[in-house]
Amino acid sequence: MQEDWIRIAKAFVPDDQAECIVQDMYLKIHDGGKTFDEIKFGNQINKKYIYDTIKSICFDYYRNRKDFISLDSIVVKMEDDDTIDDSSVEKLKNLILELPELQAQTIELRYERNLLFREIAEETGENIMTHLSRHRYALKKINKIINKNNIKLR
């Protein structure tokens, strides 16, 4: 079923963002205080609700894109560009050090060890939704610091 949702997200955003959109969908449902049982019609998941939620998150992705820096894009850029200076890497590491310990742990497992959220949850024994929330809050905090202090990352 998740593959269907990723396919829907790919209709709106670049393929590399689709899984993130679906993870955000899980967060949105969870943060709204709902469970998947509550969004069912009979025995089937309300696909329209899921579709509308994914579409809304995709639109938010584009609406917020101008001033939101994704760690994914920084990591990809760093891997693709041999001219990235060490100061950008150090700035990013310092930003991660400013995060609460559990958020920093999730970021490190996700980006330094390239683990999927499912793998992070299995390794730590915690719920995947916990790590999705920590990840989202960590990115928001990092972006807030970057924008507030006008930090430039190459």
Answer yes or no: do 81 and 24 share one domain: no
For residues 152 and 85, the answer to whether their CB atoms sit within 8 Å is no
Residue 104: domain span: 71-149
At residue 100, the pLDDT reads 92
154 domain residue, yes or no: no
pLDDT of residue 26: 86
Q: What is the pLDDT of residues 31-82, one digit of tens each?
A: 777 776 777 766 777 788 888 888 888 877 766 655 445 555 555 444 444 4
pLDDT digits (tens, 9 = 90+) for 111-143: 888 888 888 988 899 988 888 888 888 888 888
Q: Are residues 33 and 83 in the same domain?
A: no
Residues 62 and 10 in one domain: yes
- Angle separating helix axes 15-31 and 47-64, nearest 10 degrees: 110
Compute CA distances 7 → 53, 56, 65, 128, 142, whole Å: 14, 15, 21, 21, 29
| Confidence at 154, pLDDT banded by 50, 70, 90 | low
**Residue 88 sits in the same domain as residue 46:** no
Position 17 pLDDT exceeds 70: yes
Look at the pTM and tell me if it is higher than 0.75: no
The whole-angstrom separation of Cα 94 and Cα 145 is: 11
The position carrying tokens 């209709």 is: 11
Considering the domain architecture, whether residues 43 and 79 belong to the same structural domain is answered as: no
